[in-house]
Structure 1
Amino acid sequence: MRTFVTGLVLALTLIGIAGCSERSEGRPAPASPASYTMLDDGGQQLRLAFNRSMGSVRLVLLVDPTCAVCLRGLADVNADLLATTADPRLQTFIVFEPVIGGKASDIAPAASLLRNAHLHLFWNAGGGFGHLYATAVDLRRHGKLVNAWDVWTIYGPGATWGDAAPPRPALLMHQLPTLDNPGYRYLDGKVFAQAARAMLAKLPARSAAPRSGSAAHE
């Protein structure tokens, strides 16, 4: 009898573990969502990863991991694009910034909203990268430069990041108060996804797959 009970408990435990390991709606699990690279204020670690993925369509997203609006944006971009696109020629770089108090420990919960195998996560603890990026894209409100966060960008396959500031993206969307830049539209996940897919459709069918997967925590 004791042997039977022990076997039953073990079987139920294994079933529970198997059930917990499944992801809802059959969506793929994110690739090591808690794994990230420390990013200096000059963005050098991102620059290297960005240039290694040249030839692919690249998303660069700047968010605070505790910002509710940012998290909604991540969920929208995931639903409209990332969760349904397995193409390794689409590479996603996410810079988490401590704009409203976000911490490194908040990265994993935020990244768990994403379902894609080609994510590269960065943590800019110093918070200065947002200023560098804002300068590069001339992000302004009432004539004054504003910090770049809750910003969503797409780069084409030929974009290269030189030794200085990041290059200008092909598309920039945001979830900030009204900006001076008329070409920078408020984020619409479906419009964002459509633009990324249009770029992907123009890539050669057999272009070399760039390196993928989340960067390791340094």
Structure 2
Amino acid sequence: MRKLNYTKKIYDSGALAIVRDKTDRILEIAEGITKGGINVIEVSYTNENAPEAIEKLRTKFNEKLLVGAGTILDGETAKDAIAHGAQFIYSPMFDIQVSKLANQYQIPYAPGCTSVTEAVEALRAGATFIKIFPYGGIVGTDLIKTLKTPIPYLPLIESGGINIDNANKWLMAGADILGIGSTFSKGSVSEITEKARKIRDIIDNFRN
């Protein structure tokens, strides 16, 4: 049941912090978002120390934080991430071997897809969420609205330029989960906490 439990944690959080180049501050970022009510974080494998960062987060925060691995492009890297404790896989592309491994180890998989056909094929192969990449961040919310019209059940994680000012717009367009990078990577712990609280309030008010 752990895939179901992890998926529910991601949905309940409604947002996740994306850490691409700030692993030296990752414990501070994690502390800030959890205090603010966001309890999911993704550590990009573009960082050389991503495996160690994932382990640190799992050890320090335990059940308070769901920790995933991002920018996973192949099965070998996915297996490494899972071995270091990754609880979900986030990627800019769809890979069938990564999907199989995620299903084997019962963790959510969110691949990036460039078309409706690819998104549906990824769902059929077991993907938990879909990220429209790179066009979501380029075109904006209109693309999400267009996709959700014929496929309202498409479970979307969207990232790329999402912040406090436009988060509600993305939710209204149909994004189910918000991936947030730079907003949560800047400032002190208390400043990150305040920003996370604002995002938490936006998500809760929209869902209610």
**Given the two structures, how large is their TM-score scaled by the length of structure 1?**
0.37
The structure with the greater share of residues assigned to helix is 2
* Greater radius of gyration (CA): 1
**Given the two structures, how large is their TM-score scaled by the length of structure 2?**
0.38
Q: Which has the higher contact order (CA 8 A, sep 6+)?
A: 1
